[in-house]
A and B are shown apart, each in its own frame.
Chain A
Amino acid sequence: MSSAIVELKGIRKSYGIGTPVVTEVLHGIDLLLEEGEFAALIGPSGSGKSTLLNLIGLLEHPTAGDIAIAGESATHLDEVGLTELRGRNIGFVFQFHHLLPAFTALENVMMPAIIRDGAPTARAEATASELLHKVGLAGHEYKKPSQLSGGQQQRVAIARSLALSPRLILADEPTGNLDTHTADEIFELLREFNRERGSACLIVTHDPRLAARCDRRIELVDGRIVGAGLGGDGG
């Protein structure tokens, strides 16, 4: 057991297996992410950032290689085991917030707990309400996503990713479609939770400004990690 929250060994991912055109997107990735680390995953479009994030999030299966989350190998887990491992450890923030339009902000934040417990509980509601308060959305609990602005929606999504106090937050361009000011706010929110709760954060971003403010930058080019330097050296 290490203190690594994510451990990748020789990860390869190909698409189109079984068809004449097989494309390998990731060519053997080794990566270690420590508990509580705040890292940016950067790289040009098509370099495989999202694919890598989905693999770490156990939403996709690698073609080869090993993934361990919080010291537990995911290689031999079935669908149920993967879902369980993911639920226990990982929170997602997607690019386009991906809230459930049919549910209120509060219900959206409660949803991971509802799924885990099978039904809504008073505790889940209290936690969700507190999180919404923390992200500055007190008073918006019963609004549907369509009644919220883009920044507010992304705040709800961040609150949701924290609902089960995950040890790892995976954020796929969380500020991608927000203006600079809002993007800064959202970024600060993630940073804050990272500091307060010690959740590790891996953020895919195109924004060099934000990447520079992370502790560590992992750069992906053509499916390979080129620079995995420690943060703090500006850039």
Chain B
Amino acid sequence: MRFRLPFEWMVALRFLREGRMQTILILAGVTGGVAVIVFLTQLISQLQASIVDRVLGSQAHVVIRPLEEANSRALDPGGSSAIVEPRAQRLKSIDQWEAVMRAAAETPGVVAVSPVVSGPAFAVRGQANKSVALLGVDAERYRRIVRMDDNMTRGRFEVEGTHALIGIELAKDLGVTLGDKIRVVTADRRDEQLTITGLFDMGNKDLNRRWVFVTLKLAQSLLDLPGGVSNIDLTVNDIFAAKDVATRLQAATNLTVESWMTTNAQLLAALRNQTVSNNLIRSFVTIIVALGIASVLVVSVVQKQKEIGILRAMGASSRRIMAVFLLQGGLVGLVGALLGTGLAITLLQVFSHVYRNADGSPLFAARLEPRFALLAALVALGVGLLAAVIPARRAAKMDPVQAIRA
């Protein structure tokens, strides 16, 4: 035996093979559509992920700060008129920060917590002095907030005693390198001699010029926050749940809690708009593909009405005729999805060579997540079947006698 396929498959495949040009055209259509959808989806999800990754490469998902100080009125508000100036916000510690940190660590969704003491200072060497942000951290904990190990160009991300880690731009401005000493002075004239034990590159000149990492203790004494911390940084497991975690923590602690989603609201809005337009394109392409499959099958039903009549006269029920055309739609969808996914992989590879970052590294990786390929296959199969419903019903309803006579 040369064939063992069930009747419906056998006829569907033969019809597709017989209508060669139509089949090739519609397959090309589905392939193109699927390729555009898969390529676009993969590209945009990768670009968005890399943008978010870059944004979060130098900031915590969630930051807990003390409440801002506000003026409270001692007098009855209606009783007098006064011009109230907003109060200046001095640097202060989070009350009971150890308890807050423990509570935060136990909050569902939080995977890492790190106390930070940060405040302004000047880095001085000889005649040069630069304004910097002093960051007192526990290196072991901070590593889990910002992946500093990846950013170190010299030395390791460790601080102890009077060691300091500075950015490559600051090192250039002050003309120092590993092992050199700089002096750090704060506004109330506390100062300390620091030894540089590491250089980092955050991929951002401003941060490379401003950040100076020291131990928690040193920062506390320089910034006059003995035993205190200015903020607690958190890492959460789902970055897009950061806002919810922040809201929950704010309610629980009564402190100022901000997520990266709030600080980068504009970026998020842009990403969301991009997603919306991407969905719009995908929907339209899907509809066009569906219309293409449907129109080819409608023509095929008309062309094949004689064959349909013969099959019906030979005992094929209308349901089986319907199955023949549904199968054709499904097959076109599925094969188109496979070819389209292949084309999308090729496109990704070509464009990953074309589009590059400022530093020459590829803007996105030329790989396709299996879930996108699977999704495309399922959607194409569904669209193929759905598009075939109307032609298949027409075929099934066909009166065999008239079909034969036509």
Question: Residues of A at under 8 Å CB distance from B?
Answer: 54, 57, 59-60, 79-80, 83-84, 86-87, 92, 94, 98-103, 111-112, 114-116, 118-120, 122, 125, 160
Cα distance, A209 to B229, chains bound together (Å): 114
Judged by a CB distance under 8 angstroms, whether B404 is at the interface is yes
CB of A57, distance to nearest CB on chain B (Å): 7
Judged by a CB distance under 8 angstroms, whether B315 is at the interface is yes
Q: Determine which of A60, A101, A115, A119 lies in contact with B5 in the assembled complex, contact meaning CB atoms within 8 Å.
A: A119
Q: When A59-B400, A102-B14, A120-B1 are in contact, do A83 and B7 touch as well, CB less than 8 Å?
A: no
Q: Determine which of A115, A116, A125 lies in contact with B311 in the assembled complex, contact meaning CB atoms within 8 Å.
A: A115
Contact B311 A98 (CB under 8 A): no
Cα distance, A180 to B1, chains bound together (Å): 38
Q: Determine which of B1, B4, B5, B15 lies in contact with A102 in the assembled complex, contact meaning CB atoms within 8 Å.
A: B15
Residues of A within 8 A of B307 (CB): 100-102
The 5 A-B pairs at the shortest CB distance, nearest first, are namely A87-B315, A102-B18, A102-B14, A119-B6, A112-B314
Can you list 28 pairs linking A and B with CB atoms under 8 Å apart?
Answer: A54-B401, A59-B312, A59-B401, A79-B317, A83-B315, A84-B315, A86-B313, A87-B314, A92-B313, A98-B306, A100-B307, A101-B18, A102-B18, A103-B14, A111-B314, A114-B10, A115-B7, A115-B311, A115-B314, A115-B315, A115-B316, A115-B320, A118-B6, A119-B6, A119-B7, A119-B10, A120-B3, A122-B1
Task: Name the prevailing secondary structure of the B interface residues.
Answer: helix
Contact A83 B311 (CB under 8 A): no
Residues of B within 8 A of A94 (CB): 310, 313, 404
CB of B255, distance to nearest CB on chain A (Å): 71
Judged by a CB distance under 8 angstroms, whether B318 is at the interface is yes
Contact B401 A111 (CB under 8 A): no
Interface string of B65-90 (1 = CB under 8 A from A): 00000000000000000000000000
CB of B7, distance to nearest CB on chain A (Å): 5
Contact A86 B315 (CB under 8 A): yes
Judged by a CB distance under 8 angstroms, whether B183 is at the interface is no
Of B310, B312, B314, chain A has the most CB atoms within 10 Å of the CB of: B314
Judged by a CB distance under 8 angstroms, whether B54 is at the interface is no
Contact A92 B5 (CB under 8 A): no
Q: Determine which of A98, A103, A112, A125 lies in contact with B315 in the assembled complex, contact meaning CB atoms within 8 Å.
A: A112
Q: When A79-B317, A119-B4 are in contact, do A111 and B14 touch as well, CB less than 8 Å?
A: no
Cα distance, A101 to B18, chains bound together (Å): 9
Residues of A within 8 A of B400 (CB): 59
CB of A111, distance to nearest CB on chain B (Å): 6
Residues of B within 8 A of A122 (CB): 1
Known: A79-B317, A92-B313, A102-B14. 12 other contacts (CB 8 A): A59-B400, A80-B317, A87-B314, A102-B17, A111-B311, A112-B315, A115-B311, A115-B314, A115-B315, A119-B7, A119-B10, A120-B10
8 Å CB contacts to A: which residues of B43-68? none
Cα distance, A119 to B1, chains bound together (Å): 12
Residues of A within 8 A of B3 (CB): 120
CB of A145, distance to nearest CB on chain B (Å): 11
Residues of A within 8 A of B315 (CB): 83-84, 86-87, 112, 115-116
8 Å CB contacts to A: which residues of B313-342? 313-318, 320
Cα distance, A86 to B5, chains bound together (Å): 24
Residues of B within 8 A of A59 (CB): 312-313, 400-401
Cα distance, A79 to B400, chains bound together (Å): 12
Residues of A within 8 A of B313 (CB): 57, 59, 86, 92, 94
Residues of A within 8 A of B14 (CB): 102-103
8 Å CB contacts to A: which residues of B1-28? 1, 3-7, 10, 14-15, 17-18
Cα distance, A54 to B307, chains bound together (Å): 17
Cα distance, A87 to B316, chains bound together (Å): 9
Residues of B within 8 A of A125 (CB): 1
Cα distance, A100 to B6, chains bound together (Å): 17
Contact A79 B318 (CB under 8 A): yes
Residues of A within 8 A of B320 (CB): 115
Residues of A within 8 A of B10 (CB): 114, 119-120
CB of B214, distance to nearest CB on chain A (Å): 79
Residues of B within 8 A of A98 (CB): 306, 309-310, 404
Cα distance, A57 to B309, chains bound together (Å): 13
Cα distance, A87 to B404, chains bound together (Å): 17
Nearest-neighbor residue (CB-CB) of B307 within chain A? A100
Contact B314 A92 (CB under 8 A): yes
CB of B29, distance to nearest CB on chain A (Å): 22
Interface string of B275-315 (1 = CB under 8 A from A): 00000000000000000000000000000001101111111
CB of A67, distance to nearest CB on chain B (Å): 15
Cα distance, A86 to B316, chains bound together (Å): 10
CB of A204, distance to nearest CB on chain B (Å): 14
CB of B393, distance to nearest CB on chain A (Å): 14
CB of A88, distance to nearest CB on chain B (Å): 9
Contact B317 A114 (CB under 8 A): no
Cα distance, A118 to B320, chains bound together (Å): 10
Residues of B within 8 A of A103 (CB): 14
Of A99, A100, A125, chain B has the most CB atoms within 10 Å of the CB of: A100
Cα distance, A114 to B316, chains bound together (Å): 10
Cα distance, A160 to B318, chains bound together (Å): 21
Residues of B within 8 A of A112 (CB): 314-315
